Amino acid sequence: MIRDAILACGIVMSYATQLVIPGLSTGYAELFLTLWIALSVGRLLAGGRLESSPALTRFTIFWLILALAVGIGAIVGYFTTVLVLDPLLHDTFAYILLIAITCLTVAEPDAAQRLRRIGWWVVAIATAGFIWQVGLAWGWVHQFGIDPWYWDRFCGWSDNPNQLALYCALFGPLALHLAMTTDGRWGRLLGLCSLIPTFYLGRLTKSDTYLYATILTCLIFLGLRGRNWLMSKGEKPRLSRQIGLVFLIGCVPLAMAMTPYALTEVSSAAEFAKSLTKDKGGDATAETAALRLFLWSEALDKGVRSGSLGLGPGPHLERPPITDLQFLPRPFEAHSTILDLYTQGGLVAVLALAWIVTCAALAAWRARSDALVALAVSIAVFGIPHLIIRHPIVWFALSLCLVARTPQAARLHHLSEDTTLCVR
């Protein structure tokens, strides 16, 4: 129980980069994650056991391939370019930390149930932190050393609004999954109520990616729920299901009939979509788009020049000239998980990442967990315009997807546990 809470604290506090331990240069997340790894290794040394599982096998294969690809990239980068030591060591330490966390979590006995418990801790701690940050946003509370606003965008405890937006985008489907798969009323209430501050802070960040990811995951979730509802077996046909089926069949001719009227409202729909983005599609959106396109083209050029082998851990791009209103470090990242990984480990690293995310999505699909499928989609959407591979919440979400069980398997597991306890 204590280890679960420590890991959850490390996962949640990973976005709180403004919170630094007094007297140290490290944050609370690194402290909690390192402490959890030390306790887990201590458990093994004390006689604790590990269990082999498909999730552990997949993570082992992925990390071995990634380590090999990034290692080869580092050799190429050493002979072809100038490597900056600090970001190289930062990325290397982050990867080592993530390897230990992912492999140890899925290798523990009854990993699926344990990850669910950690998930509840994550939701509870994140909700408490978000409620406090809502107070910061409204000026109800003040916290020394915290600047919760990045210009007109809310960043809370983060240095960057996009960090907070990523965690909001993943905490939402995670809480929804836990609420849908629990039998307790209070747990369901906590999971559903946590969506309110999560969505509110996500919109305060004014992240366009959060908006797109939320809309897409909601549509996918509702579509999967409707599909499972109509195709559920073993139940007597209900009037509501028959009405829903008739409605879906009637949607096709209705949509065809409404097409001429919908085409006349395209401009209004476009204006409405712009109104949802930051700066309502104005200068800030155009500047961000120009910066992204410049960085992505530079990343592709760097990756191709390395022979698609990469240049090793860390950022490798020069400071972009489109920085009128931004104070950016050097060297610079492409701010895209795919392209940043392409510059680090080449095409092999990108294919390995695509494989592990696809495996997680397929595992959630086979388990018929609609919220986890939406969670995997949210990871994929956020990974396109942002670098998210170093965030622990991403790997915790993938671990949860990889160990997901079907509802029947979960019930059989709980039944076998109850039988074992009765025998004892």
Rounded to whole angstroms, the Cα distance separating 180 from 201 reads 23
Location of structure tokens 């490597």: 83
Residue 2 pLDDT: 85
pTM of the entire predicted model = 0.85
Per-residue pLDDT tens for 20-49?
A: 887 776 788 999 999 999 998 998 888 888
pLDDT band at 294 (very low <50, low <70, confident <90, very high): confident
Question: Over the Cα atoms of the chain, what is R_g?
Answer: 23
pLDDT of residue 268 exceeding 50? no
pLDDT of residue 174 exceeding 50? yes
Average pLDDT, the chain: 81
Contact 72, 308 (CB under 8 A): no
Residue 416 pLDDT: 46
Contact 25, 372 (CB under 8 A): no
Q: Which residues contact 275 (CB under 8 A, 6 or more apart)?
A: 281
Cis, bond preceding 237 (omega within 30 deg of 0)? no
What does 361-385 look like in DSSP terms, one character per residue?
A: HHHHHHTT-HHHHHHHHHHHHHHTT
pLDDT of residue 345 exceeding 60? yes
Mark 403-420 as b/e (b = at least 16 C-beta within 10 Å): bbbeeeebeeeeeeeeee
Residue 253 pLDDT: 61
Residue 21 pLDDT: 82
Q: Are strands 153-154 and 149-150 parallel, antiparallel or unpaired?
A: antiparallel
Residue 66 pLDDT: 95
Instruction: Please name which of 313, 291, 243, 253 lies closest in space to residue 69, comparing C-alpha atoms.
Output: 313
Residue 11 pLDDT: 94
Strand pairing partners for 154? Answer: 149
